[in-house]
């Protein structure tokens, strides 16, 4: 740059700081010598620069500095660091006017160096580490993060399933957290998540009804994820069309009507899966799913929570710092044989007593159709929640390690036995705590009572 440029620096009150406002490099530009000025005073702004056709000065001027203006109240001068002189620390030194443009940008050398932390990187949120951990005897075999994506069909991109689904809400006296995560085994092999999750609200106000539905497709079948999604869709439609009646039955504690009505809706939804399997030309066992649902009324005066469904999984309640397994138990059939089920008779109709059972199954008769395979029994439970309870509904991917690994139950007790429910990210981290030997998909919905 030719010459030096003077610049007004406003103080704290917006008035330029006193001092030498003009460069002395060009005496002809002094205030008293400026032509066309009535009082010989320059009205602010930088001094006139040399024209391109004017010769440069004989001696290049040095940098022009200005005395500092008044300091704001409460400002303390920074002490120079050890091993540095005040000049190096920049104490009381203003940057040159010619370098004003460069001083706007922070110097890379002035930035403090980044220090690497020991251990794996973690993301902190409200003092909650969101790093995937494990409990039990040792680390699991698979990696904690997804490895391979499922194979995609360019003509059926709508059938792709996300690796993780996360949702939450707050209605009435309860707070809901729900998550569905692909298992470690499926992440490693590039298989889609067989679990499906649906959260929906039907109605408005205190008459609204919240449905949480989760389904698990059959293992080792190509369309397992589609069957699970279809099961959630059908039960969602059935409950949504009858939500007003269901909400009224829940508030009135009509458990008999609820059980029979929900049993009928569940059978109808699973029957749609069997019909869809027939349309695709596959066996019904290859296109089926376990279905587990939870109904939550939005009325804050009603604390009844209704569970229903078929298939494996778990229903747990955390009360007073202890986990309770409240999964409905289906009684085993015993006694006299009824409809080909039950204990065998002790004697034949002729009176001959049986002394030995060779265990040889009777071959099916060509004149009688083979018996249909037994279906999973319908499960139902309506419970009244207490303030401070935590209700957990989950598929077998989380229920099995929760029952089989005490360290996982203890860990979740420590995490969830608090006054405030966790956030979405913290809940997802809790449901992903891994246990060696359990690598299936995990789907869970937890309800915290205020």
pTM: 0.66
| Residue 340 falls inside a structural domain | no
Q: Say what the pLDDT of residue 10 is.
A: 47
Is the confidence at residue 382, as pLDDT, over 90?
yes
| Residue 288 falls inside a structural domain | yes
Section 201-219 average pLDDT: 97
Q: Say what the pLDDT of residue 30 is.
A: 45
Q: CA-CA distance, 60 to 56, in Å (whole number)?
A: 8
Cite the beta strand spans of 203-332 per DSSP E: 209-217, 289-297, 304-310, 314-319, 322-325
Q: CA-CA distance, 117 to 115, in Å (whole number)?
A: 6
> Which among 379, 392, 384 is positioned nearest to 316, based on CA atoms?
392
Q: CA-CA distance, 97 to 6, in Å (whole number)?
A: 7
pLDDT band at 99 (very low <50, low <70, confident <90, very high): very low
Is the confidence at residue 247, as pLDDT, over 70?
yes
Q: What is the pLDDT of residues 22-37, one digit of tens each?
A: 444 444 444 444 444 4
Q: CA-CA distance, 20 to 306, in Å (whole number)?
A: 83
| Residue 442 falls inside a structural domain | yes
> Which among 21, 25, 19 is positioned nearest to 2, based on CA atoms?
25
Percent of the chain exceeding pLDDT 90 equals 55
Cα 418 to Cα 236, 319, 324, 415: the distances in Å are: 32, 11, 17, 7
Q: Say what the pLDDT of residue 61 is.
A: 59
CB 199, CB 443: distance < 8 Å: no
The range of the structural domain enclosing residue 129 comes to: 124-151+161-326+376-449
Task: Report CA torsion sign: 112, 118, 120, 124.
Answer: negative
Most confident of 31-45, 56-70, 348-362, 380-394: 380-394
Q: CA-CA distance, 70 to 11, in Å (whole number)?
A: 7
Is the confidence at residue 114, as pLDDT, over 60?
no
The domain total for the chain is: 1
Range with the poorest average pLDDT among 259-268, 373-382, 395-404: 373-382
Helix (DSSP H) and strand (DSSP E) numbers for the chain: 9, 15
Is the confidence at residue 127, as pLDDT, over 60?
no
DSSP state of 268: H
Query: 35: which 2 tokens?
Result: 């032509």
Q: Say what the pLDDT of residue 92 is.
A: 45
Q: CA-CA distance, 280 to 283, in Å (whole number)?
A: 9
How confident is the prediction for the chain on average, in pLDDT? 78
| Residue 400 falls inside a structural domain | yes
Q: Say what the pLDDT of residue 362 is.
A: 65
CB 41, CB 32: distance < 8 Å: no
| Residue 67 falls inside a structural domain | no
**Beta-sheet pairing, 434-435 with 134-135:** parallel
Is the confidence at residue 394, as pLDDT, over 50?
yes
Query: 232: which 2 tokens?
Result: 């959630």
CB 108, CB 95: distance < 8 Å: no
| Residue 173 falls inside a structural domain | yes
Q: CA-CA distance, 253 to 427, in Å (whole number)?
A: 31
What's the CATH code of the domain at 416? 3.60.40.10
Cα 224–434–285 angle (5° rounding)?
Answer: 20
Q: How many CB atoms lie within 10 A of CB 379?
A: 19
Q: Say what the pLDDT of residue 57 is.
A: 64
| Residue 360 falls inside a structural domain | no
> Which among 58, 66, 67 is positioned nearest to 25, based on CA atoms?
58
Q: CA-CA distance, 195 to 394, in Å (whole number)?
A: 11
Q: Say what the pLDDT of residue 69 is.
A: 59
Query: 300: which 2 tokens?
Result: 């804050």
| Residue 52 falls inside a structural domain | no
DSSP state of 429: H
Q: Is 212 helix (H, G, I), strand (E, B) or coil?
A: strand
DSSP state of 301: T
> Which among 177, 429, 376, 194 is positioned nearest to 294, based on CA atoms?
177
């Amino acid at each position: 740059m030719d010459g030096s440029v003077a610049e007004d620096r406003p103080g704290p009150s917006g008035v330029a700081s006193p001092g030498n406002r003009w460069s002395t490099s060009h005496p002809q530009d002094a205030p008293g010598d400026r032509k066309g000025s009535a009082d010989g005073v320059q009205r602010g702004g930088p001094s006139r620069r040399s024209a391109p056709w004017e010769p440069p000065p004989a001696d290049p001027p040095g940098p022009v500095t200005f005395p500092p203006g008044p300091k704001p109240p409460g400002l303390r001068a920074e002490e120079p660091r050890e091993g540095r002189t005040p000049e190096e620390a920049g104490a009381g030194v203003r940057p040159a006017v010619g370098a004003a443009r460069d001083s706007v940008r922070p110097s890379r050398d002035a930035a403090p160096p980044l220090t690497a932390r020991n251990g794996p990187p973690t993301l902190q949120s409200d003092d909650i580490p969101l790093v995937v951990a494990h409990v039990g005897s040792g680390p699991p075999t698979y990696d904690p993060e997804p490895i391979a994506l499922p194979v995609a069909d360019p003509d059926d991109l709508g059938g792709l399933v996300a690796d993780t689904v996360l949702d939450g809400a707050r209605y009435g006296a309860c707070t809901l957290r729900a998550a569905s995560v692909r298992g470690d085994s499926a992440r490693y092999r590039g298989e889609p998540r067989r679990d499906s999750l649906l959260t929906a609200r039907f109605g408005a106000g205190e008459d609204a009804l919240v449905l949480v539905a989760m389904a698990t497709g059959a293992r080792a079948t190509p369309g397992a994820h589609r069957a699970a999604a279809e099961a959630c869709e059908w039960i969602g439609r059935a409950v949504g069309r009858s939500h007003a009646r269901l909400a009224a039955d829940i508030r009135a504690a009509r458990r008999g009507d609820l059980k029979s009505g929900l049993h009928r809706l569940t059978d109808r939804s699973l029957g749609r899966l069997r019909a869809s399997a027939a349309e695709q030309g596959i066996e019904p066992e290859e296109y089926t799913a376990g279905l587990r649902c939870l109904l939550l009324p939005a009325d804050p005066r009603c604390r009844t929570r209704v569970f229903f469904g078929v298939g494996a999984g778990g229903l747990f309640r955390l009360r007073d710092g202890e986990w309770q397994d409240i999964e409905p138990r289906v009684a085993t059939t015993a006694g006299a044989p009824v409809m080909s089920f039950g204990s065998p008779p002790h004697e034949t109709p002729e009176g001959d007593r049986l002394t030995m059972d060779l265990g040889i199954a009777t071959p099916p008769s060509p004149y009688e159709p083979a018996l249909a395979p037994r279906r999973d029994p319908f499960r139902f439970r309506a419970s009244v929640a207490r303030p401070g309870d935590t209700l957990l509904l989950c598929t077998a991917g989380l229920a099995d390690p929760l029952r089989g690994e005490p360290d996982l139950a203890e860990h979740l007790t420590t995490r969830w036995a608090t006054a405030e429910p966790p956030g979405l990210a913290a809940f997802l981290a809790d449901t992903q705590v891994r246990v060696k030997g359990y690598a299936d998909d995990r789907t869970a919905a937890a309800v915290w009572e205020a």
